[in-house]
């Protein structure tokens, strides 16, 4: 499943990274502790978080994640948008809370990195 398909199916609002939405998502990771995401996420994962600050872009870039989905309707900080555009990191927003979105993604075949 691609980020474009995920965005379409779950009504996500695309904020940045439109040029990378056709990439395949290899799995998912949900978490808000940056050190945990660094330690356990994998290349190509989509990351679900409530964090909105610029450091999430640095983590996603370093880990080569497919993209970041901000959950619970949270919007990225202006600096986060700027950095995501610079790094070409897809940044999407969901009105769903992380638990519900993770469950729906799992039902559609996006498994965790466990």
Does any domain span residue 113? no
**Taking 70 as the threshold, does the pLDDT of residue 114 lie above it?**
no
Q: 109 falls in which pLDDT band (50, 70, 90)? A: very high
Torsion of CA 107, 75, 24, 97, to 10 degrees: -10
Q: Give per-residue pLDDT as tens, 27-79.
A: 999 999 999 999 999 999 999 999 999 999 999 999 999 999 999 999 999 99
Instruction: Report d(CA 44, CA 26) in Å as an integer.
Output: 5
Checking if the pLDDT of 113 tops 80, the result is: no
User: Is the residue at 81 inside a domain?
Assistant: yes
Torsion of CA 106, 108, 109, 114, to 10 degrees: -10
3-state secondary structure of 114: coil
Q: 41 is written with which tokens?
A: 């996420």
Nearest CA to 69 out of 53, 85, 46 is that of: 46
Is 112 part of a structural domain of the chain?
no
Domain that holds residue 73: 3-107
Quick one: pLDDT at residue 28? 97
Question: Is residue 68 in a domain?
Answer: yes
What CATH number has the domain bearing residue 63? 3.40.1390.20
In a domain? residue 11: yes
Q: Are 97 and 71 in contact (CB under 8 A)?
A: yes
Count up the domains in the chain and report the number.
1
């Amino acid at each position: 499943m691609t980020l474009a398909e995920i965005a379409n199916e779950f009504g996500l609002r695309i904020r940045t990274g439109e040029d990378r939405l056709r990439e395949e998502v290899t799995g998912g990771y949900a978490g808000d502790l940056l050190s945990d995401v660094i330690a356990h996420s994998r290349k190509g994962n989509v990351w679900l978080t409530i964090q909105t600050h610029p450091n999430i872009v640095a983590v996603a870039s370093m880990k080569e994640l497919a993209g970041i989905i901000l959950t619970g309707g949270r919007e990225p900080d202006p600096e986060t948008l700027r950095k995501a555009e610079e790094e070409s990191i897809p940044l999407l927003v969901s009105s769903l809370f992380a638990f519900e979105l993770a469950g729906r993604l799992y039902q559609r075949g996006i498994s965790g990195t466990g």
